[in-house]
Chain A
Amino acid sequence: MELFRNTNIDFLGKKWYFLGFSLIFSIAGVLSIAFWHHIPLGVDFKGGTLVDVKFANAPDLGKVRHAVDDAGYHDAEIQRLGAATQNELIVRLPQRETSEQSLDRGRSEIIAAMEKYFGGQGDKLDLNNSGPSQIASYLLNKDPLHLGTDATTRYNEIARQITDFRDKNRSGVLSSINELNGAVPQQVVNALNEGAFTSQFAVRSVQIVGPQVGAQLRKQAALATLYSLAGMLVYLAFRFEWIYGVAAVVAVFHDTLITVGAFSLTNKEITLTVIAAILTLIGYSMNDTIVIFDRIRENIKLYRRESLSEIVNRSINQTLSRTVLTSGLTFLTVLSLYLFGGEVLHGFSFALVVGILIGTYSSIAVAAPMLVAYQDWRLAKTGTAAVPGVAGRRTKMRA
């Protein structure tokens, strides 16, 4: 099977469409960054507290809001996480404490408020918010199986089975104790029914970031991105003439800008893992560009009579099949990550989905036309052709 065979598309002829397309997306992103959502930073960069709570049934948002207000956090944001059927919410508290000592006050107060509104059966054991050791000691006290010497080990084992069942089969929240029927002995379920209960929520994760770490991380992320771009420039300068390097870095910068703009437009948070995705894209988008540049250089030697724009067109067409196929396959895996990888990786895979599309487009529509535009400009100015093909260090034929 073959998708592209001897294509002959006049890519350079469409350069004004490309320019328009790129400008629309870049400007939309820049406008959103400047005036609308700005760059929505995740809690790891911004500092603050994030509590991920899962409920047994669809949570009443008003009641959650009430609980959070009650704890004194009127500026807290409450947000649904993932699909509505997941019954999961994120409570986000802005950085408020200036002292590092009371950093985790927000967490304990939010959990206490949840406990009050969605849990609360006095001294009873809350099965949804207890660890195996607490459950084991409860069972040891009750001793429903009338065990002798090995009671401690056996009850620890049962407690572990209960938390495993809760965490792996029920995503952390049991809606009633009777759900444990079959997973653990009947006597244990009965004993739990006597003195334990299942609250309607469980805390799935908590992230607390102090101001110092947030600032440190912002600096590191910025440095990492800069070093990455600089590393690419050095590599390209070594492989090609400088104008190729500049064109490739402009294309990659264009990709980064549009990807970050997409986060701003959709108001998705940029976290550390998103930065990781963007750095990966810088590398990925660069190599599409390199493949086309290699072909251009090779063709400049083969077709000395042709104009640069003809050569660039020919080169893009020759590598089109490869470019579309490899990007398409990577896109397939990234799409699967976006669709099935879960909420935690949502931002990461979103960046990759957007970035791979844009990165592939920019290799064809931004980087290569820039070479032609540069040459036209030089020709108009000095009358000599400026884009060298033979001067590169390697002159071997390339794929």
Chain B
Amino acid sequence: MRKKLLPKTLFIIAVLLVFVYGIFLGTDPDKAIAAWKQQGPLGAIQQNIHLGLDLKGGTHLILQVAVNEAVNAETDRVMQSLREDLAKASVTLTDITKPDQQNHPETIAITGVPPDKVGALRNTISDTLPRYDLSSGAGTTYQVVMKPSELTSLKQRAVQQAIDTIRNRVDQLGVSEPVIQEHGLGDYQILVELPGVDDPARVREIMQSTAMLDIRLVIGGPYPDEQSAIQANNGTIPPDAVILSGNTGRSDQAEYYVVSRTAAVAGSDIRDAQPSRDENGRPDVNFHLSNEGGRRFSEFTGAHLHDRLAIVLDNRVREAATINDQIRDNVQITGAFTEQQTQDLSMMLRSGALPASIHYLDEETVGPSLGADSIRQGVLAAIVGMTAVLVFMLIYYRGAGINADLALLLNLIILLGFLGFSHATLTLPGIAGVILTIGMGVDSNVLIFERIREELRAGKAPAAAVEQGFAHAWLTIVDTHVTTIVSAVILFLFGTGPVRGFAVTLTFGLLANLFTAVFVSRVIFDAVLNRKERGEALSI
């Protein structure tokens, strides 16, 4: 009985070609060909199979967004407008406060509302604050609480905005293929992966700087310390002023300034910041203001000619300069910056401010030398492991060993081709997954071959023994794959970075194994049997 194997053989060759294409050309053949021309076939493979940070080197961060800050900013604004609106509606009250800023920034308490004004209070709130609920507390206290759905979406927006801002900043650093995405489930965390970046201090500076820049009026200063700042102003700081520390680079001593509490121009008015140099060649930052901001700034500088203004960055005075002319919209800040700092600062001003501060939860830096060693060792382990398996199969099963070895090689090609097509990331544990796939993949062949041997011993003809062997081994092979894949899927759901890479290669390696060990191996057996005379022994 001869089987027609041509269609199956053609199918196998087609699969082989597709995945070889995936390994060398991937989804972007032009780039891959360019890389091949430059660095040979290995370059093309590296173009298609993305290496994880642990192999390529780079920085991995998990950041926590302090979402409550964004909520506080929102409720602060609401408290301000509430004061005005309630005054307009002639609702008398003792105070508007936030009882628990730390844990419940979404709750505003209004105390001392007389009973006859409650109706007006209700109306004002339902008219002006549709996203808040009003509830009555003890006595004359009322609570205005942000609706839960609004609270969640506000926090979510803060995370999204932080992601966008960080992406803007990272893009300007020129990092290739950065990953910036939400991490975990609802913990307001962000995962950042920066391949090839191994100077974490600088990354941190860029990420974490909130870049809050504004321009204020200088009331007095510089003073050497806060005490003398207070003394110079007759012992009290006026309510519309604050003391800020300064760093203008004019002297080595500490500087303190008394400046106005409100800003003449805020960071959101700034457009198109660029690093440049002042007339003395010192690095400075040059920026324009928006129309609205320009109008305000022009009024401000007109009203305060010959006074001094302070440029305040992240609550530190970076420059205090006398206003000589009315300025409309072009501003320079000079103030003890290095060239690097002016570049970073203008970049941060362009990309916008973070909506809330971020904290580092976790940071991992892998230097390129460790990555290179890991690749070398991983590949060596794979080659040794694979050679050992291939040689063992040849010795133990002779003719059928060739069959198993071919299936195993095809298994490897499909797995690597899959990585090339899918842009899944290959990590060091991922390489371990490839090695394990080789070891576990060959299990399927062993199962089948052992069963065929058993059938042959029982006196069956080779063709029937092969038939029975495959039929009986099939369910067991499914069992072994299911149990391992269940573990791998759980790993994928719970793991991060490198461990996910392991789950991915193991899962797809074993899926490919179903095809190679069962289908391909069977076709090879049938091809061998077709060429044999009836009754001739099978090499197994």
User: Which residues of A are interface residues toward B (Cβ below 8 A)?
Assistant: 1-2, 52, 54, 100-101, 103-104, 107-108, 131, 163, 166-168, 170-173, 202-210, 212-213, 216, 220-221, 223-224, 227-228, 231-232, 235, 239, 272-273, 275-276, 279-280, 282-284, 286-287, 290-291, 294, 321-322, 325-326, 329-337, 339-342, 344-345, 348-349, 352, 394, 396-399
Contact = CB atoms under 8 A, between A and B. Distances in A.
B446 A171 contact: no
B368 A287 contact: no
Contacts of B503: 276
B443 A326 contact: yes
A170 B368 CA distance: 11
A216 B485 CA distance: 24
19 contacts: A1-B395, A100-B360, A104-B200, A210-B360, A224-B491, A235-B483, A272-B499, A283-B484, A283-B488, A284-B440, A294-B479, A329-B439, A332-B385, A332-B392, A333-B388, A334-B435, A335-B385, A345-B378, A399-B476
A283 B374 contact: no
B443 A235 contact: no
- 5 A-B pairs closest in CB distance: A172-B369, A342-B377, A333-B439, A283-B487, A336-B385
B491 A168 contact: no
Interface string B466-492: 000100110110011011111110110
Please tell me the size bucket of the interface on B. Answer: 35 or more
A348 B490 contact: no
B365 interface: yes
A345 B428 contact: yes
Nearest to B469: A399
Contacts of A282: 487
B362 A284 contact: no
Contacts of A206: 200, 363-365
A273 B502 contact: yes
B269 interface: no
Contact of A167 (B372, B473, B490, B493): B372
A339 B377 CA distance: 10
A336 B384 contact: yes
A224 B373 contact: no
B364 A205 contact: yes
B175 interface: no
Contacts of B432: 337, 341, 345, 348-349
B54 A322 contact: no
Contacts of B369: 54, 166-168, 170-173, 202, 204
A47 B477 CA distance: 41
Interface centre among A207, A329, A339 (most CB of B within 10 A): A329
A321 B450 contact: yes
Contacts of A345: 377-378, 381, 428-429, 432
Contacts, number: 249
B78 interface: no
Nearest to B443: A326
Given A212-B361, A213-B361, A202 B367 contact: yes
Given A204-B369, A290-B483, A209 B362 contact: yes
B380 A340 contact: yes
Given A291-B476, A399-B447, 9 more contacts: A227-B494, A272-B496, A290-B479, A326-B443, A329-B439, A331-B439, A339-B384, A352-B436, A399-B473
Interface of B: 54, 57, 62, 64, 184, 187, 198-201, 204, 359-374, 377-378, 380-382, 384-386, 388-389, 392, 395-398, 428-429, 432, 435-436, 438-440, 442-443, 446-448, 450-451, 453, 469, 472-473, 475-476, 479-480, 482-488, 490-491, 493-496, 498-499, 502-503, 506
Nearest to B397: A1
Given A344-B428, A394-B475, A221 B435 contact: no
B435 A329 contact: no
Nearest to A211: B361
A205 B472 contact: no
B446 to A, nearest CB: 5
A341 B378 contact: yes
Contacts of A334: 385, 435-436, 439
B14 to A, nearest CB: 29
A269 B261 CA distance: 53
Contacts of B62: 213
Nearest to B202: A131
A167 B368 contact: yes
- Residue with the greatest number of chain A CB neighbours at <10 A, chosen from B54, B64, B370, B395: B370
Contacts of B448: 399
Contacts of B367: 167, 172, 202-205
Contact of A227 (B364, B429, B447, B490): B490
A228 B487 contact: yes
Contacts of B187: 216
Contacts of A235: 482-483, 486
A397 B386 CA distance: 32
Given A101-B359, A202-B369, A228-B486, A333 B499 contact: no
